[in-house]
Structure 1
Amino acid sequence: MRARPKIDDEQRRARLGRRHLLAPAHRADTPEQVAEAVLALHSSDPASVVLSTAARLARPGSAALEQALYEDGTLVRMHGMRRTLFVVPTDIAPLVQSSTTGKVAERERRGLVAFAAEGGFDEAWLARVERRTLAALAAAGQATSAQLGSEVPELREARTMSAGKAYEAKQTVGVRLLRVLGMEGSIVRGRPAGSWLSGQHYWALRPALPELPVARAQAELAARWLAAYGPATVEDLRWWTGWGLREVRTALAACAAVPADLTGGEGFVLPDDTEPVTAPEPWAAVLPGLDPTPMGWQQRDWYLPTEHREELFDRSGNIGPTLWWNGRIVGGWAQRADGELARHLLEPVGPDAETAIDAELHRLSSWLGPTRITPRFRTPLERRLSG
């Protein structure tokens, strides 16, 4: 019997620098290559997807990403794993939809029906509103939620959520319905209604995605994920996808993943990925909040020391802007009101590392120009630095 491959933390960090396109020699030419490399770019914060892509491009900027998303259609923004909003390559969208989003959409649809019922509206009323909304969108070509509300006033019907609580808020039928239609694949988020920092966007009708058997889609997505993030543990894949334990184990078996001995215990790797890889030249990276690399694993000790976490995460588990040196998080950064990019190192790294990190900060500042960024999810270190 063949011995289990042994893949230590140094090897995992070598794979990360190369495969996530963070080492300068491995940077990409196009946003499509970036999305393919990391599989899915977090898009809950409008700035994150742009900054994550730019950090991995040989020529950083936002124009090529906007072209891919809104003109060429080679990338698409959609809800996926853990109900999170991502940008994914168009060819991966059917895998995400069939493996994950479809099941979430069913739950969201039931919630929408209950939401409408609590406001005194039955399913027949909701179906009429949905038909009118899709017809209005077809006629307009694209429209914001506010524009759709003008055409279909029922979308503006609202009720109070969590009445009497500190987080009491009103929510409209339109917010819930558009979210469900997006998850079901009937509509898609288009160009933002402003700059790339805007959280408001246009909606458009979306061509139907191919329907795949759930088990097949999960196996293919697991294989793609291991190619980008492996070796990794069962809990890593379970956390990243939001699948149940049985689904994760079935998907790993279906894609022929093999066990490997990691520094922290058992992991899995694709059968053609058991040999050592050459570490890239020493590298630094400046990554935004919610970047797919720091958010890629549930077990993070091999790249993120436990003592740094309190400074870098918010209370919901969202990571803030980070500084990297050779595959480890060593600090954080923030942009101040005057545009300066301030940094703080959480451990000594040496003069070569500091020089490389400062060069990456300058690279980011140069293409940002007058743009000002405030992460949607604020973390303790980011708040202090930006203040």
Structure 2
Amino acid sequence: MRTIDDEERRARLARRHGLLTGLPDAAAATRAMTVLHATEAATVHLSLWARVPGITVADVDAALYDDRALVKQLAMRRTLFVFPRDLLGAAWGSAATRVAVQQRKQLAKWVVEAGLAADPDAWIDHACAEVLAALADGVPRTTRELRALVPTLEGRIQRGTPDKRWSGEFPIAAWVMTTLGAEGRVLRGPNAGHWRLNKPSWVRSDHWLRDAEPAWPEDKGYAELVRRWLATFGPGTEADIVWWLGATKTIVRRALADIGAVEVGLHPSPRSGTPPTGWVLPDDVDPVDPVEPWAALLPTLDPTVMGWKERAFYLDPADTPYLFDTNGNAGNTAWWGGRVVGCWVQDEDAVVKVLLRHDIGSEGAAALDAEAERLTAWLDGVRIVNVYASPQMKGAALG
């Protein structure tokens, strides 16, 4: 069994993630990453900025809303992602369905607790049918606009407990739309606000994607997701794939067998000291050449930093409390030579600043400063507000 050391894993990451030489366009970059995180709207644009030389905000929006080569879909770990269009069928039949079942069950519970109906499934079916009817004319509409057309969506539910700052009574509309979205019956259409803000309008899937593939069988869908993941992130451990996919070990082991994945050895983790087993695609066993040092500034929840659960080969574990929140969500990160070495923030004038956690020498510092200047120019005065800001980012803001 061949061993793939950490240096080679970083070389694979640099080449395959478009961080060394770049990728030609938004669709190619998204396929290279399998999917892009989209929980924060700005992440999509900034992830593509880091990988596609010369890309503009208009280019990203065109790929999402005009060409529709890229589509936002709730899937793995109940997270919103941007999928390349040809991967949607696999997701709809597997990870998205898993989330949809969970979402519908939770929604049914809230319907009963709020006293909206004694038969929650019938209530949900009725509400969903009304929404789909309201969208039948093909006009994208926000949740607020749909509430005006579909009175059923005005039903209110209690979220949280009084001790929570975000608790209160809210219209049920958002959770009906989330359920429909997870089921693949509606999609997020054109953004109704600034590109850096998540204000989607909704469209019917059968209108937005008239020639979309239907949902794949579950086992084939999971196998395709794992195959794409290995092409992007391999080698990775079973634990990495289970975490990223939001599925079970049984599902992952079956998918690995279905695609003929090959075992390889990896370097021991700092915690266990035991060499773990990794997996690669059957045609991806051969060594890859080393790469020259490279610099990158990646946004909050970028797919590179969020690709693995076990991150020691590119992240000093001592940095985790500073660069990730307590749920494992990454803030902005600064990279040098295939390792996370700090983060980046913006000052009050929207100028990007790099905050290092390690001494990387003058060459590395100069390369990251050049990236900061490039990103500052690209943002052109736009300040990004992050929901998932890391403790180091918050400390800089407070300072």
Counterpart check, 1:278 vs 2:278: no
Could you say which residue in structure 2 is the equivalent of 1:93? 88
| 1:150-189 pair list within 5 angstroms | 150-167=148-165, 168-189=167-188
Q: CA deviation at 1:104?
A: 1.5
Could you say which residue in structure 1 is the equivalent of 2:42? 47
Could you say which residue in structure 2 is the equivalent of 1:57? 52
Counterpart check, 1:136 vs 2:128: no
Deviations 1:179-235 (A, max 9, x none): 000000110001111110122111000026412111111112111110110011110
| 1:16-95 pair list within 5 angstroms | 16-23=13-20, 25=21, 27-95=22-90
| 1:207-286 pair list within 5 angstroms | 207=206, 209-264=213-268, 265-286=276-297
Change (3 A) 1:125 1:330: closer
Q: Which moved more, 1:113-122 or 1:58-67?
A: 113-122
Q: Which moved more, 1:137-146 or 1:302-311?
A: 137-146
Q: CA deviation at 1:252?
A: 0.8
Counterpart check, 1:190 vs 2:189: yes
- Residue from 305, 323, 326 that aligns with 2:334: 323
CA distance in 2: counterparts of 1:164 and 1:351, whole angstroms: 52
8 Å CA contact 1:75–1:89 kept in 2: the answer is yes
- Residue 237 of structure 1 aligns with an amino acid whose one-letter code is I
Deviations 1:272-293 (A, max 9, x none): 1111112233210000110000
Partner SS, residue 320 of structure 1: coil
Counterpart check, 1:378 vs 2:389: yes
Q: CA deviation at 1:140?
A: 5.5
8 Å CA contact 1:337–1:386 kept in 2: the answer is no
Partner SS, residue 135 of structure 2: helix
8 Å CA contact 1:60–1:367 kept in 2: the answer is no
CA distance in 1: counterparts of 2:172 and 2:287, whole angstroms: 53
- Residue 334 of structure 2 aligns with an amino acid whose one-letter code is L
CA distance in 2: counterparts of 1:40 and 1:327, whole angstroms: 20
8 Å CA contact 2:297–2:333 kept in 1: the answer is yes
Could you say which residue in structure 1 is the equivalent of 2:147? 149
Counterpart check, 1:353 vs 2:364: yes
Partner SS, residue 203 of structure 2: strand
Aligned pair count reads: 382
Partner SS, residue 56 of structure 2: coil
Q: Which moved more, 1:142-151 or 1:106-115?
A: 106-115
8 Å CA contact 1:76–1:88 kept in 2: the answer is yes
> Structure 1 stretches of 5 or more lacking a match?
none
- Residue 389 of structure 2 aligns with an amino acid whose one-letter code is R
CA distance in 2: counterparts of 1:130 and 1:7, whole angstroms: 49
Percent sequence identity is: 38
- Residue 391 of structure 2 aligns with an amino acid whose one-letter code is P
Deviations 1:263-308 (A, max 9, x none): 1221111121111112233210000110000100010000000111
Give the TM-score normalised by the residue count of structure 1.
0.96
Counterpart check, 1:106 vs 2:140: no
